[in-house]
Amino acid sequence: MISVDAFDLKILSALQDDGRLTNQQLADIAGLSASQCSRRRMRLEEDKVISGYHADLASEALGFNVIAFIHITLATHSPDNAKRFRALVNRVGDIQEAYSLTGDADYLLKAVLRDLKSLSDIVNNVLMPHQSVAHVRSSIVLDRLKESSRLPLKELSR
């Protein structure tokens, strides 16, 4: 774990709100000089605390109207089978997130799709026929109550 102080937390919090802040704007928020802020930001990037910058796209505005969570149970629990499944997941662009789990399912996938036919295609033509997969169960999101990629930085200041 990387050690961060109150100035770093101000910088990180501000960047979580707006990754496009100029160095001067960020320095003003953090209460530092522009050069001090720049050095801290560069260190946070080099230490991979800041892993990148990106634009948050509105999926529905682009016609991606279906979010589905897909539970996967593997056919066999071997390193080779898990490797084959991971390779499959990394090839499928519709899958945004994938997690290895404890419990009933081995994996949980989050897919963002244009429509229900796209969900049917990914389940029936990609996941089900794959030799590593034994069981697939999907759930369609009816309403998104909260979405955030923000980390609870206030927990670090305790």
pLDDT > 90 fraction of the chain, expressed in percent and rounded: 92
Whole-number Å distance between alpha carbons of 154 and 158: 7
CA dist 2 and 143 (Å) reads: 36
- Higher-confidence residue: 37 or 157? 37
pLDDT higher than threshold 90 for residue 158? no
User: Checking phi first, is residue 155 left (phi over 0); if not, alpha (psi -120 to 50) or beta?
Assistant: alpha
Spell out the alpha helix ranges (H) of the chain.
Answer: 6-17, 23-30, 34-46, 79-91, 116-121
Q: What is the pLDDT of residues 107-126, one digit of tens each?
A: 999 999 999 999 999 999 99
Q: In what order do the strands lie in the sheet with 66-74?
A: 95-100, 107-113, 66-74, 133-140
Q: Whole-number mean pLDDT of the chain?
A: 95
pLDDT digits (tens, 9 = 90+) for 124-154: 999 999 999 999 999 999 999 999 889 999 8
pLDDT tens-digit profile of 5-26? 999 999 999 999 999 999 999 9
Q: What is the mean pLDDT of residues 39-44?
A: 96
Q: What is the mean pLDDT of residues 29-43?
A: 97
**Which whole-number Å values give the CA distances from 155 to 9, 12, 26, 81, in the listed order?**
10, 13, 21, 38
Structure confidence at residue 116 (pLDDT):
97
Q: How confident is the model at residue 157 (pLDDT cuts 50, 70, 90)?
A: confident
Beta-ladder partners of 87: none
Q: Which residue has the tokens 């160095």?
A: 23
Kindly state the DSSP code that residue 19 receives in the 8-state scheme: T
pLDDT attached to residue 35? 96
Question: Quick one: pLDDT at residue 146?
Answer: 94
In this model, does residue 106 exceed pLDDT 70?
yes
